[in-house]
A and B are shown apart, each in its own frame.
Chain A
């Protein structure tokens, strides 16, 4: 069974304005890293698919250098980020022809909503596994481990096609060798038009963008240090984000203190798990 990675391009805002280009977003890189690890055990080909404008081609070339065998870009005028069902339908048109293993980042292919993989799984009627830590292939069985709560892992065994979203865990950085970079620069990238079926979304956007507004207020932006405090204390107040708790200090016999603390932790439910 082949592997597919859902990719998303974002403008590299860390580069100098004159050198800015579209690069892979963080979740896509995590998904790609998991897919490359999976391919070591699956011995099959890996394709990257993105739904977006022509400018995303540079990001797909980066993905090719990082380990993809082929890459397809479904070209849309907009960035296809708002209409989740529309993006998923376009992806399904490319992916759904063969049963495949689909890797997605936690926010790949949409604007951080994390719903495109679910919509894709809904269209194709394939199972969806979220928060995947690693995946490996043992003959025709896909073995997957996912985060099952804080400090817990769940293992799954899947036969057949499946959509997975990678957990937001750090992976070792990928450094493609120069030869792969040069090969990726020359590689052919498949281009296609979005293929919506008749029941699919209409061509005119059903979701209209009206404008941007402010972000969520954050405590550290609202914090004003005490005017009367010394400069060092003001710096401390700013860096602590205003966090200041006033616990009364307990001292005495270590055994007594430990027993009090143990009772507190037990009453607070930290021993229940």
Chain B
């Protein structure tokens, strides 16, 4: 079937022969859904696909609701078969997949972030990507926005985690908090540090604490026992600072620094504070710890 397929979102599959590809620049999902439904009225499409982002989910969800179109999400692959669209979608957090046939077209499909969707139409000439700018005077806009402090950020939502262990001592946790503050990250701790009362139980990373997968994980004075490594092994980039060159944490590190963790941390806080905000004055207790 020579299906005409539209793709919505930031297109990463530009050469896959979409009938149309749109990038929506909108601050409000309601207005964006109106814009897309207007586009659909002008041409007929067999399927409308999108990537997996909160805005795409909202726009396609609203579209399916308004136009009463069949919608499936978390789709891993899709193909046309006898005027129907067959999709495989992830279920139960990816523990299993399920195959469905969408008998009524057009269908709305939100692809999974791991999708390798086979192009439902033959590869063709890359289409131009139309950027649709939607401005809506009645859009729901935030009245304010703020950055959370290190003590407020939950470990599982942090992009950066700075974790301390026995090697930095109780005073060293001031530096850990300061570094987390500079990097807009959360404070983590090893089990030993939590047992010693240097950090709250909610900050514990590891098998008996929380599992984290931030973009950056800085382990300061943590030996890296397997119970701790279990909770941070999926981090994108790991920096380990420890004075023991044989510490197991270095097996998990992308940047390994052998040295006194408290001293390196103090110098790092000072250097980063100067680079991020040259005119900033360190809090008195942190400045004392750095000194």
Query: Which residues in A have some Cβ–Cβ distance to B below 8 Å?
Result: 82-85, 88-89, 92, 110-123, 125, 127-131, 146-148, 150-158, 169-170, 199-201, 206-216, 235-236, 239-241, 243-245, 247-252, 254-255, 257-259, 261-262, 264-266, 268, 270-271, 273
CB B72 to nearest CB in A, in angstroms, measures: 7
What's the least CB distance linking A259 to chain B, in Å? 5
CA distance A123 to B68 in the complex (A): 9
Q: B216 and A270: CB pair below 8 A? A: yes
- Smallest CB-CB separation from A259: which chain B residue? B271
What separation, in Å, do the CA atoms of A117 and B61 have in the docked complex? 8
Q: Is the interface of B mostly helix, strand, loop or mixed?
A: mixed
Min distance, Cβ B149 to any Cβ of chain A, angstroms:
9
Kindly report which residue of chain A lies nearest to residue B210, judged by CB atoms.
A170
Which residues does chain B contribute within 8 Å of A199, judged by CB atoms?
68
Contact check, A112 vs B92: say whether CB atoms are below 8 A apart: yes
Shortest C-beta distance, A234 to chain B (Å), equals 12
B58, closest chain A residue (CB): A118
- B123-166 residues with Cβ-Cβ distance < 8 A to A are 140-148, 153-154, 157-160
- Asked if residues B264 and A258 are in contact (CB atoms below 8 Å), the reply is yes
A residues in contact with B142, CB < 8 Å = 146, 148, 154-156
CB-based A-B contact count at 8 angstroms: 271
Inter-subunit contact A114/B57 (CB<8 Å):
yes
A150–B98 alpha-carbon span in the complex (Å): 32
Residues of A within 8 A of B226 (CB): 235-236, 239-240
The 10 closest A-B pairs by CB, nearest first: A118-B61, A122-B62, A122-B65, A113-B73, A258-B267, A119-B65, A150-B159, A115-B61, A154-B142, A262-B271
Option from A123, A151, A170 in Cβ contact (under 8 Å) with B153: A151
- In the complex, per-residue mask of B58-100: 1 if CB is within 8 Å of any chain A CB, else 0: 1111111110111111101000000000101011111111111
Chain A, Cβ-Cβ closest to B85: A207
A84/B157 in contact, CB under 8 A: no
Contacts A88-B65, A122-B62 given: A113-B110 contact, CB under 8 Å?
yes
In the bound complex, how far is the Cα of B154 from the Cα of A120, in angstroms? Answer: 30
Q: Is the CB of B140 within 8 A of A115?
A: no
B45 within 8 A of A: no
Q: Which residues of B contact A266 (CB under 8 A)?
A: 272, 275
Is B276 within 8 A of A151, CB to CB?
no
Instruction: List the B side residues contacting A247 at CB < 8 Å.
Output: 240, 250, 253-256
Q: B245 contacts the other chain (Cβ, under 8 Å)?
A: yes
Task: Please name the residue on chain B nearest to A121 by beta carbon.
Answer: B62
Q: Which residues of B contact A154 (CB under 8 A)?
A: 142, 144-145
CA A271 – CA B275 in complex, angstroms?
8
Q: Tell which of A113, A148, A157, A258 touches B72, judged by Cβ atoms closer than 8 Å.
A: A113
Task: Check B30–A128 contact: CB distance below 8 A.
Answer: yes
Residues of chain A with a CB closer than 8 A to B74's CB: 112-113
Please give the distance in Å from A269's CB to the nearest CB on chain B. 9
Give the interface segment out of B11-19, B191-199, B229-237, B280-288: B229-237
Which chain A positions have C-beta within 8 A of B268?
A: 258, 261-262
Cα–Cα distance between A121 and B258 once the two chains are bound (Å): 55
- Which residue in chain B gives the minimum CB-CB distance to A255? B267
Excluding A210-B101, A213-B98, A266-B275, 16 further A-B contacts by CB distance (< 8 Å) are: A151-B147, A155-B144, A156-B141, A157-B143, A206-B104, A208-B100, A209-B98, A244-B251, A245-B251, A251-B257, A252-B259, A254-B264, A258-B264, A270-B216, A271-B272, A271-B276
Contact present for B64 and A258 (CB under 8 Å): no
Chain B residues with Cβ below 8 Å from A128 are 29-30, 58, 62
- Tell me if B289 counts as interface (CB < 8 A to partner A): no
Q: A84-B71, A153-B146, A154-B145 in contact; A130/B58 too (CB < 8 A)?
A: yes
What A residues does B248 contact at CB under 8 A? Answer: 236
Tell me the bound Cα distance from A170 to B209 in angstroms: 14
CA distance A126 to B101 in the complex (A): 31
Q: By the criterion CB–CB under 8 Å, are B230 and A239 in contact? A: yes
Assess whether B103 is interfacial by the CB under 8 Å rule: yes
Taking CB atoms, residues of chain B closer than 8 Å to A119 are 61-62, 64-65, 71
Known: A158-B140, A208-B103, A245-B252. A254 touches B259 (CB 8 A): yes
In the complex, the answer to whether A262 meets B272 with C-beta atoms within 8 Å is yes
Given contacts A155-B143, A215-B97, contact A265 B234 (CB under 8 A): no
Q: How far is A85 from B63 in the complex, measured between Cα atoms in Å?
A: 9
- A123, B238: Cα distance in complex, Å: 46
A22, chain B: closest CB distance, angstroms: 16
Answer whether residue B25 sits at the interface, using C-beta atoms and an 8 A cutoff. no
* Pairwise interchain contact B73-A115, C-beta atoms closer than 8 A: yes
Min distance, Cβ B265 to any Cβ of chain A, angstroms: 8
Would you call B96 and A129 a contact (CB within 8 A)?
no
Query: Could you jot down 21 A-B contacts, CB within 8 Å?
Result: A84-B61, A89-B65, A113-B57, A113-B72, A117-B61, A118-B57, A121-B62, A127-B140, A128-B29, A128-B30, A151-B160, A156-B143, A209-B99, A210-B98, A212-B96, A213-B88, A215-B96, A245-B252, A250-B256, A251-B259, A258-B265
Contact status B257-A127, CB under 8 Å: no
**B239 close to A (CB within 8 Å):** yes
Contact between A270 and B183 (Cβ–Cβ < 8 Å)?
yes
